[in-house]
Amino acid sequence: MKAYILKLSFEGIEPEVWRRVIIPAGATFNRLHETIQYVTNFKSYMEPYHDFCFPLEDVIITNNEELIAQKEIGGKKVKQPTRIKIDAYLEKYGKILYQYDFGVQWEITVALENTVDDYYFGFPTLLDGGGMAPPEDVGGPAGYMEFLKIIHNPVHPQYTIYREWAERVGYKPFNIENINHSLKHVKFKKTEWEHIHHENYVIISDKYRGSDLIDTEKVANKELIFDYIVSCTNLYGIVPNYKVIQIYNLQNKQKITNKDLQAITTDSHYKKMLEKSNVVVVMDRFIHQSLDENNLTQQLEQVVVGKPFYIPEKEELLRYKDAFYYEKTKYHRELAKLLEKVEITENKSIQEIMKDFVWKTKAMNYKFNSTMKEFMSQFVFKDVKQVNEITKVLVLAANATRTWNNRGYTPEELSNLTKPKQTKVAAGVKIGRNDPCLCGSGKKYKKCCGR
């Protein structure tokens, strides 16, 4: 089957964002539009969201109804994308322009790199790419460059708002496996299975799409990958597949892909191990079983949107494979020491009580008042002074506990993360009283640190 290998390159943004796709010949311009939407973070593949066009030498191909109604603009005919095929235009020009969202004018260059005759699938395939594609409605190239500055600066006043918005609109890292799974929806030809090495329509090997087979035995460091899945789930409560991969690759020389995670989650042995470790696999994320059982998954997902993930060093992270592990800060140690002087009403050790308190604080921080009442009900206190002393340290210990609703950060850490940092002025440097203050507050020096 004849097909075209195309390179799609965003114009006007840095760092470079590009995708290489192969698409069967005979695709309409509307199918090309859909393909571009699927391989980026745009959303018009779900429904017609923004208008697009391909401005060519002698014709304008667009889905914009107003332009179509005019039939001709500047001597160029206006045609609908569902009726015109890409073949003649690609082969004639070698490079065409795709414009999307006329309000901000995204431009993506579509360059023909090669024409092949051995592609047998009736839908496109993403072969390669680079860069995290812009999110929908970010404001075009200029808005995206400003957006990048903000989300890479935790002390920016709008950092939290932008992070939350970006996650809500599906601003996700580049993932070839997930995109290729979605591209099957852009099917417009019959797949020629007789030319494909397959078994019961499961691809064994293919030059362009690789293999659908997942051989767990060939995956290196299976136990370590498993440990990362469990540790991340215990630390965050809910963790997307891509974040587990990202953290693993950050901390290990030998990298893994989404297929390596699939090998673990589909293998019968590791599936049972994950169940025993209270890890529930749901589509593209891992969820702690306690959330799933209590129907709290959606609630936590809404709370954590936009918050960054706390990522400890590898050795510390893997300690979270133990569901009840927690970092013992000075406040936790002080609380345990105070409890030694209090009468316990139940047959529990102080260690057991501390683990139970930290677990409930981690998993249900949004219900801290009820957790605190339940904790205090386990003791008989001498007097009000002792109650107040323990309550004070209890709150400090809770604020030093890593919680699911903060994606592993302690409440105190997350609060400090977005505070503007004070900037020290080098010796000998003079600041005018009307100059912007170097602390980053946006105020004049005389009305801020120069008071």
Least confident of 34-43, 262-271, 439-448: 439-448
Domain 3-133+174-193 has CATH 3.10.290.30: yes
Q: What is the pLDDT of residues 103-120, one digit of tens each?
A: 899 999 999 999 999 999
CA distance to 239, 331, 403, 433, per residue, from 427 (Å): 46, 38, 41, 17
Q: What is the pLDDT of residues 8-26, one digit of tens each?
A: 999 999 999 999 999 999 9
- Closest by CA to 393, choosing from 352, 342, 333, is 333
Straight-line distance from the first to the last Cα atom of the chain, in angstroms, rounded to the nearest whole number: 75
Share of the chain above pLDDT 90, in %: 69
Q: How confident is the model at residue 435 (pLDDT cuts 50, 70, 90)?
A: low
pLDDT at 272: 96
Residue 356: partners with Cβ closer than 8 Å, 6 or more residues away? 348
Cβ atoms of 405 and 300 closer than 8 Å: yes
10 burial via Cβ count (<10 Å: 0-12, 13-18, 19+): buried
Q: How confident is the model at residue 207 (pLDDT cuts 50, 70, 90)?
A: very high
pLDDT at 185: 92
At residue 430, does pLDDT exceed 90?
Answer: no
Q: Name residue 184's amino acid.
A: K
3-state secondary structure of 210: strand
pLDDT at 213: 84
Residue 272: partners with Cβ closer than 8 Å, 6 or more residues away? none
pLDDT at 427: 42
3-state secondary structure of 134: coil
pLDDT at 178: 87
Q: What are the φ and ψ backbone dihedral angles of 122, each rounded to 5 degrees?
A: -85, 15
Q: What is the DSSP-derived secondary structure letter of residue 246?
A: H
Cβ atoms of 394 and 387 closer than 8 Å: no
pLDDT at 428: 40
CA distance 399 to 410: 6
Q: How confident is the model at residue 218 (pLDDT cuts 50, 70, 90)?
A: confident
Q: What is the mean pLDDT of the chain?
A: 89
At residue 365, does pLDDT exceed 80?
Answer: no
Q: What is the pLDDT of residues 186-196, one digit of tens each?
A: 999 999 999 99
CA distance 163 to 148: 10
Q: What is the mean pLDDT of residues 48-64?
A: 92
pLDDT at 48: 67
pLDDT at 306: 84
At residue 245, does pLDDT exceed 90?
Answer: yes
CA distance 237 to 233: 5
Q: How confident is the model at residue 387 (pLDDT cuts 50, 70, 90)?
A: very high
CA distance to 132, 195, 280, per residue, from 285 (Å): 19, 35, 9
Q: What is the pLDDT of residues 138-165, one digit of tens each?
A: 999 999 999 999 998 888 889 888 988 9
At residue 216, does pLDDT exceed 80?
Answer: yes
Q: What is the DSSP-derived secondary structure letter of residue 444?
A: B
3-state secondary structure of 202: strand
Q: Where are the domains of the chain?
A: 3-133+174-193, 137-172, 218-309, 330-401
Q: Which residues of 271-301 are buried (b: 16+ CB within 10 A; e: fewer)?
A: eebbeebbbbbeeebbbbebbeeeebbeebe
3-state secondary structure of 105: coil
CA distance 140 to 12: 9
Least confident of 145-149, 401-405, 414-418: 414-418
Residue 203: partners with Cβ closer than 8 Å, 6 or more residues away? 196, 197, 209, 210, 211, 212, 213
Q: What is the pLDDT of residues 288-332, one digit of tens each?
A: 999 989 899 999 998 998 888 999 999 999 999 999 999 999 999
CA distance 443 to 143: 25
Task: Look up tokens 């009442």; give the residue.
Answer: 373
Share of the chain above pLDDT 70, in %: 91
CA triplet 246, 251, 254: central angle to 5 degrees?
Answer: 85
Cβ atoms of 101 and 51 closer than 8 Å: yes
Residue 428: partners with Cβ closer than 8 Å, 6 or more residues away? none
At residue 429, does pLDDT exceed 50?
Answer: no
At residue 277, does pLDDT exceed 90?
Answer: yes
Cβ atoms of 9 and 18 closer than 8 Å: yes
At residue 441, does pLDDT exceed 80?
Answer: no
pLDDT at 39: 96
For the record, the structure tokens of 255 come out as 């990298």
- Closest by CA to 30, choosing from 71, 62, 5, 60, is 62
- Closest by CA to 189, choosing from 51, 66, 87, 58, is 87
For the record, the structure tokens of 308 come out as 């960054």
Q: What is the pLDDT of residues 175-188, one digit of tens each?
A: 898 899 899 999 99
pLDDT at 422: 47
For the record, the structure tokens of 269 come out as 């042995």
Cβ atoms of 25 and 89 closer than 8 Å: no
Q: What is the mean pLDDT of residues 370-393?
A: 91
CA distance 13 to 268: 45
pLDDT at 37: 95
pLDDT at 442: 46
Per the DSSP assignment, residues forming a β-bridge with 319 are none
Q: What is the pLDDT of residues 372-382, one digit of tens each?
A: 888 999 999 99
Answer with the residue of higher pLDDT: 211 or 440: 211
Overall fold of domain 218-309: Arc Repressor Mutant, subunit A (1.10.10)
Q: How confident is the model at residue 444 (pLDDT cuts 50, 70, 90)?
A: low
At residue 446, does pLDDT exceed 80?
Answer: no
pLDDT at 130: 94
CA triplet 24, 27, 28: central angle to 5 degrees?
Answer: 170
pLDDT at 439: 41
At residue 38, does pLDDT exceed 70?
Answer: yes
CA distance 304 to 237: 10
CA distance 423 to 318: 35
Task: Look up tokens 């030694």; give the residue.
Answer: 340
361 burial via Cβ count (<10 Å: 0-12, 13-18, 19+): buried
For the record, the structure tokens of 89 come out as 């235009």
3-state secondary structure of 206: strand
